[in-house]
């Protein structure tokens, strides 16, 4: 299992150059493996890998990602931070064009302190759900998964683990992988 974010970024760049992850994405989109089976494999890998990785040693998602906040998130987060909604929006957020949602106006997240969220109990739904590997329909989110491979050690290791699981199944059936 790889946890060094610099190594993960380097490996991910190499896999991007060789188009390995994109080829695997195409394979997953067209293979005969049921989506439910892929979800099951991903969920198991996620549980196993998540239990081995301390997100606070990394916090790279808070450094490189910008979550989307809706009005409920803004209200909860502003109350949790003790800042009135109008001041919170003015100081920390920008409105997304074409929607009612907002994002933070800078990176890394302004609430990241010593690799921890200073308002953890009040963080946006986007942050709570990240890296989204617990959800079903994994194959419908593969572009984001590939992007997140270079951001999150959990995503990187789950995706690499999924490749290995599929390789093992393919070798049993004596088929070519991707």
Domain ranges of the chain: 5-61+132-173, 66-120
Residues 6+ apart with CB under 8 A from 98: none
174 pLDDT band, cuts 50/70/90, is very low
Q: What is the pLDDT of residue 172?
A: 54
Q: What is the pLDDT of residue 56?
A: 85
Rounded mean pLDDT of the chain? 93
Q: What is the pLDDT of residue 170?
A: 62
Q: What is the pLDDT of residue 58?
A: 92
The tens digit of pLDDT for each residue in 90-146 reads 999 999 999 999 999 999 999 999 999 999 999 999 999 999 999 999 999 999 999
SS3 sequence of 71-140: HHHHHHHHHHHCCCHHHHHHHHEEECCCCCCEEECCCCCCCEECCEECCHHHCCHHHHHCCCCCCCCHHH
| CA 25 to each of CA 9, 19, 121, 140, 165: distance values in angstroms, whole numbers, following the listed order | 19, 10, 35, 10, 14
Cβ(103)–Cβ(161) under 8 Å? Answer: no
Alpha carbons 11 and 5: distance in angstroms, whole number: 10
Specify the pTM. Answer: 0.89
Alpha carbons 163 and 138: distance in angstroms, whole number: 14
Among the ranges given (7-16, 25-34, 134-143, 164-173), the one the predictor scored with the smallest mean pLDDT: 164-173
Burial category of 81 from C-beta neighbours within 10 Å (exposed 0-12, middle 13-18, buried 19 and up) = middle
The tens digit of pLDDT for each residue in 142-164 reads 999 999 999 999 999 999 999 99
């Amino acid at each position: 299992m790889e946890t060094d974010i610099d190594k993960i970024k380097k490996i991910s760049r190499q896999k991007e150059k060789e188009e390995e992850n994109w080829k695997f994405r195409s394979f997953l989109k067209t293979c005969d493996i049921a989506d439910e089976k892929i979800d099951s494999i991903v969920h198991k890998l996620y549980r196993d890998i998540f239990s081995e990785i301390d997100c606070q040693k990394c916090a790279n998602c808070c450094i490189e990602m910008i979550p989307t906040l809706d009005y409920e998130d803004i209200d909860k987060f502003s109350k949790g931070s003790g800042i009135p909604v109008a001041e919170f929006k003015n100081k920390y957020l920008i409105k997304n064009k074409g929607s009612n949602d907002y994002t933070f106006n800078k990176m890394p997240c302004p609430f990241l302190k010593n690799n921890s969220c200073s308002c953890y109990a009040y963080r946006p739904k986007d942050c709570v759900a990240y890296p989204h590997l617990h959800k079903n329909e994994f194959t419908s989110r593969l572009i984001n998964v590939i992007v997140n491979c270079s951001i999150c050690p959990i995503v990187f290791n789950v995706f690499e683990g999924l490749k290995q699981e599929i390789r093992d199944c393919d070798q049993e059936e004596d088929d070519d992988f991707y």
